[in-house]
Every structure is written in C-alpha cells, then in structure tokens.
Chains A and B, each alone.
Chain A
Amino acid sequence: MGKFIDFIIEHLAQFLQFTAFANMTIGHVIMICVGLVFIYLAIAKEFEPMLLIPIGFGILIGNVAFAPGYQIGVYESGSVMNYLYFGVLQGIYPPLIFLGIGAMTDFSALISNPKLILIGAAAQLGIFGAYCIALALGFSPTEAGAIAIIGGADGPTAIFLSSKLAPELMGAIAIAAYSYMALVPVIQPPVMRLLTTPKERLIRMKPPRVVSKVEKVIFAIAGMLLTTFIVPSGLPLLGMLFFGNLLKESGVTKRLADTAKGPMIDIVTILIGLTVGASTQATTFLTVKSVGIFILGAFSFVIATFGGVMFVKIINLFLKEGNKMNPLIGNAGVSAVPDSARVSQVVGLEYDKTNHLLMHAMGPNVAGVIGSAVAAGILLSFLA
C-alpha cells in the first residue's frame, strides 16, 4: 500500500512538473499582462478590436508555459499552432488579407482627385526615417528594414516583410505595428496641430466627382500593372490588392468579392492575429531589441504623419486658391485604413463643424496602402 502511495505521489509530482505553474517565468507573467491589456483595450476602448482580440488572446496562448518536446508551442515543429503559424512564416496570410482589403476598398476618392495619390507616397517617409534610426541604433540592415516597415502602418505588409527579412523579430514588429495602428487617434493629432496653422485647417476642398465603373475597372488593372512593373517584389501584396478590387468593381463577380471581403478575410484575420500573438513567447519576445522596435515604431508613425502633412503644405504653395488641399488630410497617407482618415475628419471638425474631410482623406489613405506595399517591395529587393 505504501509503495502504491509513493507511486501516486511520485507521479503527481511528475505531473506538476508539466504544469504551467512549474515552468512559469516572470517574462510569461509580463506577457500575459500585455495580452490582457490588449483584450481590455479592444473591448473597453474598442481600439481595433478585430485585431487586438485575436492578438491579445494569442499572446495568452503563447505564454502559457509548458515543458518543451510535446508539440504544443508555436515554434515546435508538428504542433497545431506551428502549422497555423506556417502561413505567417511563409508570408501566405498577408496577401490573402490584401485580397480582402482590395475587395472592400472604394478607390473613388483617389480616382476623382488623383493628386491625393502623392500624399500616400509622401507618408512613406516614416518607413525610411525609421530605417535610418534603426541603422544608427545598431540593428542589422535586414532587421532595420523589417522594423522600418512599421512606419507604413500596415499590419499585413509588416508581417509579410518581416517574415522575409527578419523572421525572429516578426512577433515584436507585428505587435508594434498593430498597437500603433490602434493608437493612431492618439499619436497623430498633436503632430497635425503642430504643423498646421488655423487658416490651413479651415481649407475647404472641392467635393469629389462621381467616378464611373469603367474608371474603377481600369484603375484596378492599370494600378496593378504599373506598380508591379516598377516594383515586382511587391507583387504578392499589390497583385492581390488590385485583384480583390477588380472582383468588387467588375460587378460580375459579386460572390467572389463578397467571399474575399467577408468570410475569407475574417478567417485569415483570426489565424494571423492568433498566431502572431502566440509567437510572442516571453522567451523570444522579451528582449532589448523588442523595446527598441517599440520605440522606433512610435517614431516612424510620427515621421510618417510629418511627411504627409508637410507634403500637402508644400503642394499647396503651387496650387491656385480654391484648388488647395487641407493639410489635415496629410496624416491619412499613413495607411491605417480607415483610422487615419477618421483622424483627419475628427480634427477637421474641431475647427469647422461643417468641413467634412473624411471623403478627401480616404484618397491618401488607400494610396498609403499602395505606397507601403511598394515601399516593402523596395526594401525586399535591396535587403533580402
């Protein structure tokens, strides 16, 4: 009987060694707290809930400490999470998300006022500003390139590029990108106010003209061909973005467009959010580099906003009265769709209750998506 009790106690003790309590470190506790903060921000503050809930819960999943060797963790070959993570590592999910984004994006604002496209280009300054700072801080060229893309404010693009250039930093980069995208309403307004005069904030822009279906169809096809001919390495993202848009605008593939912008993007968002969150295991995530990535991410958003707003101010110098653009839409070149456009609208209304900038800001906003994908392609072709 005594032997049997010893046997039971021995196996209970052995079992305890397998529990998360026995394998827990302070790092795991910190990361679980981070995950809980994400979930809180998503539910209580409604900051990007579609992303922060999967990522936050993924962080919880990734930081339940376990004894290695049982094919549990996201980094263990053969585990379920590892299979799901494959789509992130190989850059499969981001293009699929771009397909959905293309199918739900209306480029009318951009087509009706094409000069807004250039704001989307100017805001990419955030990416390359962050690249310079990252190099100065001692990050390797590929790491600097992967970190810099946070300034593009585009989660899928950030994941895609970091999976190619610095897979080991992907978790931190994705978390930083999505965090700052959620914080766009906090980061951008002070920069916008600082760079604009009260008179500039009151500029009224011409209403966008009606755009025909033919123009929209041509935009999807010509946009893809022109951008990818210049930067073929952006093909996975740009090709899917414009393909999704063609599904929407052709008017004859409604079912496909509905699937791309509905169930498919939802499924991929769940998988990408959960697995990126789970990839932030304390053992790999809590490093000095991660702290550097978060600081650089904040800088890149500020520089991107600066680039967009200043570009509008400069362009206004060459435009006739009546054709001028409100510099408050410059921030929307940061491709956090539609949050940064919403920021333009909110800040604009603070100074003129009847000056609605949302429609105008959507132009640079979607141009920012194209611009950041092009920028990612450039970084990939130079650094990979």
Chain B
Amino acid sequence: MQRRIDHFLSGIAALILIVAGTNLVKAQNAGDLKFNEILVLNDSSSVDDFGVHTAWIEIFNSAYNTVNIGGCYLTDDLGNPTKYWIPTGDPATKISSRNYMVFWADDKPTRGIFHLNFHLKDAKTIALFDASGKTLIDKVELPADHKADVTYGRPTNESQNWVYLEKSTPGANNDYTKKKSAGESFVEMDPFGIGMTMIAMFVVFSALTILFIIYKNMGRFFIRKAIPKKEKMPVMVGNIAKDEEMSGEVNAAIALALYLYQSELHDEENTVLTIQKVSRNYSPWSSKIYTLRKSPR
C-alpha cells in the first residue's frame, strides 16, 4: 500500500515537473521582449534626443515584471547576430512591465546606448538576440515598399500580424482607440447583474462542491480506516452493529463498562456506577512516581 502511495506521489511530482517544464517558455525574462513598431523612413515624424528625424525600432516588454534588455543584441543581419550589443549596467536599459523602449537606427552609436550602429534603409530583417548572441528572441521581416513617416507594427500588443499603422506611436501602445474596461463590457451585456450572480454563484458552488465531494469521500475513507478489521472485531448484536456513526463518548462509555465488568472492578451502590477510592495505603493512582516527571537539573 505504502509503495503504491509512493508511486502515486512520484507520478504527481513528475506530472507537475512536466507541466512546469512546458511552461518554462513563458517565463518572464528577456524572452518576453518583442518588436512592436518600426519606422524605416522618417522624414517629418518624431525626432531623437539630438533633434534629428531618424529611423527607429520600438521594443515591447510583454511581461508583467521589469525586464533588462542590457546584454542583448540587435541586428539587421542574421548572419551577424551580435552586430549591436546593448550595454549592461545602465538603469536605462530596464523596461518596466508592459512598457516600451525605442532605439534609433541612425548608425551613430557614439550618440548613446539607444543609437544603433546600422540604418534600416536597406535592411530586410531586424532581429533581437539574447545575451548569448545565439538564441533568437524575435525577428521581423521588413517589407520593401516603405512609405515615409508611416510605421510598420503590430495593431495591438498581442497581435501576431504586422501592418502599416495609421498613426506612429513611438514608446506607446499602438492601439490608441478608446477601450471599455472589463467591467463596462460585462455590464453592457448584463446591466442588472443577473448574469454575474448566476456565473459567480455557480463558480462558488462548484469550488465548494468539489471540496465537499472530496471531503465526503475522504471522511468515509478515514472512518473505515479507523474501524478495526473484521477478524479482530468482537461479534456485535442488535442495532449497535449497524450504527457506524456512534460517537466517541458512547464507545468510550461502553468500553469502560465492559472493562470494569470483566475485571470485576465495578461495584453497585444504589444501582449507580461509581469509582470509589481504594482503601489501600499504596495505589498507582496516587503514586507520584507515575504521575510526575523528574525535575530537570
């Protein structure tokens, strides 16, 4: 039995490890970074910190924690994945949760860590590699027909498709349309809260019903375990044998009465069961040897 339990527990542990392993790809680290918006031809759009109109690349941190992009590589040539190394140790390279970072593709790396050592004019692909320079985090194939001041990006943060965007939004969400909150959307369909009440009560009942079912059966298991095996059980007669849910107090009283009867320690006084003091000088009940522990020294 013990071996079976051990095997069962090992199986569960293995299952958890497998599930955890398959979810590792979702771990919140540099792997959560992705390209979000790119402007190849910047004639009159946003300017960099030197006041120059230049091409830019926006990276989005899709994780719910801060990710440091320092140490990663940006490139426009998959044959040279370590083309631009993003310096480490700079607090500016930390991208906070669900936030954006813009790099200027002006081939002027001396202007700061956000200025890359390549242009986008002739680039066909841009890619982001992790600190090893070998693992690709994200890449984008750039189309050939770029229009001036029109950005190419994901319409929403979660989108996998890339399209030309109506409005350039460096360092901000590409989806600038007014959004309803989750609550507003919910109430639009359920203005009186009836749906919410039904769903929520169903979920609360489901959660607690599962607990109920498990504990109902677990209780049966433990009660069965607590009852001695058949061969060791005394023969019981009448209704007592059927009454499995007899309380502990009743069992204890019956056991005590049987013990007293068998040991002939009982006495009768006006038909009331009593425990009288034994008129002996010594009794284990009054002995200090049996009732006290030795004092610590």
A residues near B (Cβ < 8 Å) are: 110-112, 114-115, 117-118, 120-122, 124-125, 127-129, 131-132, 134-136, 140-142, 144-145, 165, 206-207, 209-212, 214-215, 218-219, 222-223, 226-227, 230-231, 367, 370-371, 374-375, 378-379, 382-384
Determine chain B's interface SS by DSSP, over half rule: helix
**How far apart are B249's CB and chain A's nearest CB, in angstroms?**
8
Q: B245's contact among A129, A142, A209, A231, by CB below 8 Å, is which?
A: A209
A209 to chain B, nearest CB (A): 7
Kindly state whether residue B247 has any CB partner on chain A within 8 Å: yes
Tell me which of B187, B191, B196, B218 has the highest count of chain A C-beta atoms within 10 A of its own C-beta.
Answer: B196
In the complex the two chains form, is B200's CB within 8 Å of A379's CB? yes
Among residues of B, the one whose C-beta sits closest to the C-beta of A119 is B208
Closest to B249 in A: A207
Contact B204 A371 (CB under 8 A): yes
- Is B215 interfacial (CB-CB < 8 Å)? yes
What is the total number of residues of chain B having a CB less than 8 Å from a CB of chain A? 37
Q: Are B208 and A118 in contact (CB under 8 A)?
A: yes
Most buried by B among A111, A117, A211, A375: A117
Q: Could you tell me if B199 and A378 are in contact, using CB atoms closer than 8 angstroms?
A: yes
Identify B197's interface contact among A112, A131, A367, CB under 8 A: A131
Q: Tell me if A370 and B208 are in contact (CB < 8 A).
A: yes
A269 to B239, CA, bound (A): 53
User: Are B197 and A210 neighbours in the complex by a CB distance under 8 Å?
Assistant: no
* CB-CB contacts below 8 Å: B203-255 with A: 203-216, 218-219, 222-223, 226, 245, 247-248
Q: How far is the CB of A146 from chain B (nearest CB, A)?
A: 10
Instruction: Please report the C-alpha to C-alpha distance between residue A142 and residue B219 in the assembled complex, in whole angstroms.
Output: 40
In the complex, B144 has a CB within 8 A of chain A: no
From A120, A121, A223, residue with most partner B Cβ within 10 Å: A121
CB of B208 within 8 A of CB of A135, answer: no
Distance A211 CA – B215 CA, assembled complex (angstroms): 11
B107 interface contact, C-beta 8 A: no
Task: Give Cα A145–Cα B215 distance, bound, in whole angstroms.
Answer: 31
CA distance A378 to B208 in the complex (A): 14
Contacts of A134 in B (CB 8 A): 193
Structural contact, A226 and B184, CB atoms closer than 8 A: no
Do A135 and B215 touch across chains, with their CB atoms under 8 A apart? no
Least Cβ distance of B223 to chain A in Å?
Answer: 7
Q: Which of B183, B191, B199 has the most CB of A within 10 A?
A: B183
A121-B191 in contact given A114-B216, A214-B222, A378-B200 (Cβ < 8 Å): no
| Cβ-defined contact, A140 with B183, below 8 A | yes
User: Given the interface contacts A209-B223, A227-B207, does A135 sit within 8 Å of B187 by beta carbon?
Assistant: yes
Cβ distance A373 to chain B, nearest Cβ, rounded Å: 10
Q: Are A226 and B197 in contact (CB under 8 A)?
A: no
Q: A residues within 8 A CB of B208? A: 117-118, 120-121, 367, 370-371, 374
Asked whether B200 lies within 8 Å of A128 as measured between CB atoms, the reply is yes
B181 within 8 A of A: yes
B181 contacts A141, CB within 8 Å?
Answer: yes
Is B182 part of the contact surface with A, judged by Cβ < 8 Å? yes
CA A145 to CA B181, docked complex, whole Å = 13
A112 to B247 alpha-carbon distance, docked (Å): 12
Across the interface, do A128 and B205 meet the contact criterion of CB distance under 8 Å? Answer: no
User: How many angstroms between the C-alpha atoms of A223 and B200 in the bound complex?
Assistant: 19
**Contact flags B170-207 to A (C-beta < 8 A → 1, else 0):** 00000000000111101100011110110111011111
C-alpha gap A223/B210 in the complex (Å): 10
Contacts of A209 in B (CB 8 A): 219, 223, 245, 247-248
28 A-B residue pairs with Cβ-Cβ distance under 8 Å, sorted by A, are A111-B215, A112-B219, A114-B213, A114-B215, A115-B216, A117-B208, A117-B212, A117-B215, A121-B209, A128-B193, A128-B200, A132-B194, A141-B183, A144-B193, A209-B219, A215-B218, A219-B215, A223-B211, A227-B207, A227-B211, A230-B207, A374-B203, A374-B204, A374-B207, A375-B200, A375-B204, A378-B203, A384-B182
Residues on B with beta carbons closer than 8 Å to the beta carbon of A115: 212, 216
Contact: B215 with A383, CB < 8 Å?
no
How far does the alpha carbon of A218 sit from the alpha carbon of B197 in the complex, in Å?
31
Known: A129-B197, A230-B203. A145 touches B212 (CB 8 A): no
Report the bound CA distance from A49 to B259 in whole Å.
Answer: 50
Q: How far is the CA of A110 from the CA of B208 in the complex (A)?
A: 11
* A117–B196 alpha-carbon span in the complex (Å): 22
4 tightest Cβ-Cβ pairs between the two chains A and B: A141-B183, A132-B193, A128-B197, A114-B215
From known contacts A132-B192, A132-B194, infer whether A382 and B214 are also in contact, taking CB-CB under 8 Å.
Answer: no
The distance in angstroms between the C-alpha atoms of A52 and B214, with both chains bound, is 38
How far is B214's CA from A215's CA once the two chains are assembled, in angstroms? 11
* Given contact pairs A135-B187, A374-B203, A382-B182, A206 touches B222 in the complex (Cβ within 8 A): no
A378 & B215 in contact (Cβ 8 Å cutoff)? no
- Chain A min CB distance to B125 (Å): 38
Give bound CA distance, A115 to B226, whole Å. 21
A120-B208, A124-B204, A230-B206 as given contacts; A131 in contact with B218, CB under 8 Å: no
Do B219 and A215 touch (CB < 8 A)? yes
Q: Contact between B211 and A226 (Cβ–Cβ < 8 Å)? A: yes
Contact A142–B183 (Cβ < 8 Å): yes
| CB contact list, B53-112 vs A, under 8 A | none
Closest to B193 in A: A132
Assuming the contacts A114-B212, A120-B208, A210-B248, asked whether A382 and B186 have C-beta atoms less than 8 A apart, the reply is: yes
Give Cα A30 to B215, complex, Å. 50
A112-B219, A128-B193, A226-B210 known; A382+B248 contact, CB < 8 A? no
A111 to B216, CA, bound (A): 8
- Provide the residues of chain B in CB contact with A227, threshold 8 Å: 207, 211
Task: Please report the C-alpha to C-alpha distance between residue A332 and residue B165 in the assembled complex, in whole angstroms.
Answer: 58
CB distance from B59 to the nearest CB of A (A): 27
The answer on a CB contact under 8 Å between B247 and A135 is no
Q: Which of B193, B201, B213 neighbours the largest number of chain A CB atoms within 10 Å of its CB?
A: B193
Complex CA distance for A384 and B216, rounded to whole angstroms: 35
- Which residues of A are found within 8 Å of B203, using beta-carbon distances? 230-231, 374, 378
Q: Give per-residue flags for B114-154: 1 if the beta carbon is below 8 A from chain A beta carbons, else 0.
A: 00000000000000000000000000000000000000000
